[in-house]
A = this chain, B = another copy of it.
Amino acid sequence: MIGFIYHERCLDPMNLRDLRYLLAVAEHQHFGRAAAACGISQPTLSVQIRKLETLLGVALFERTRRAVVPTTACERLIGHVRAAVAEADAMLAEARTLRDPLAGRLRLGIIPTLAPYLLPLVFAPLREALPALEVEPWEDQTAALLERLRAHDLDAALLATEVDGSDLASRSLFAEPFLAALPAEHPLAGRDVVAETELARDILVLADGHCLRDQALAVCGRGDGSGGTLRAASLSTLLNMVAAGYGTTLVPGLAAGAAQDAGIVLRPLAVPAGRTVRIVWRARFPRRAAVEAVGEVIATRLRGFAEAGARAV
Chain A: residues with CB nearer than 8 A to chain B? 1, 4-9, 11-12, 14-17, 19-21, 23-24, 27, 34, 37-39, 56-59, 62-64, 69, 71-73, 76-77, 80-92, 94-96, 98-99, 104-105, 107, 152, 155, 167, 282, 284-287
Contact = CB atoms under 8 A, between A and B. Distances in A.
Given A4-B20, A99-B56, A282 B94 contact: no
A99 B57 contact: yes
A91 B81 contact: yes
How many copies of the chain does the oligomer comprise? 2
A77 to B, nearest CB: 5
Interface-centre pick from A57, A64, A91 (highest chain B CB count, 10 A): A91
A92 to B, nearest CB: 6
Given A19-B88, A57-B95, A84-B84, 15 more contacts: A1-B82, A4-B27, A6-B20, A6-B39, A7-B38, A14-B16, A72-B105, A76-B94, A77-B94, A77-B98, A80-B87, A80-B88, A80-B90, A81-B87, A83-B87
A4 B21 CA distance: 11
10 contacts: A4-B85, A6-B34, A7-B38, A15-B16, A56-B92, A57-B99, A71-B287, A80-B91, A81-B87, A83-B83
Contacts of A23: 4, 6
A235 to B, nearest CB: 31
A286 B68 CA distance: 12
Nearest to A107: B72
Contacts of A96: 57
Contact of A88 (B62, B63, B84): B84
A299 to B, nearest CB: 24
B59 A286 contact: yes
7 smallest beta-carbon distances between A and B, as pairs: A59-B286, A80-B91, A84-B87, A57-B99, A56-B95, A83-B87, A7-B39
Contact of A92 (B11, B76, B83): B11
A90 B19 CA distance: 13
A12 to B, nearest CB: 5
Nearest to A37: B6
A12 B24 CA distance: 14
B37 A21 contact: no
Nearest to A25: B6
Contacts of A72: 104-105, 107, 155
Given A14-B16, A84-B88, A62 B6 contact: no
A38 B9 CA distance: 8
Contacts of A21: 6
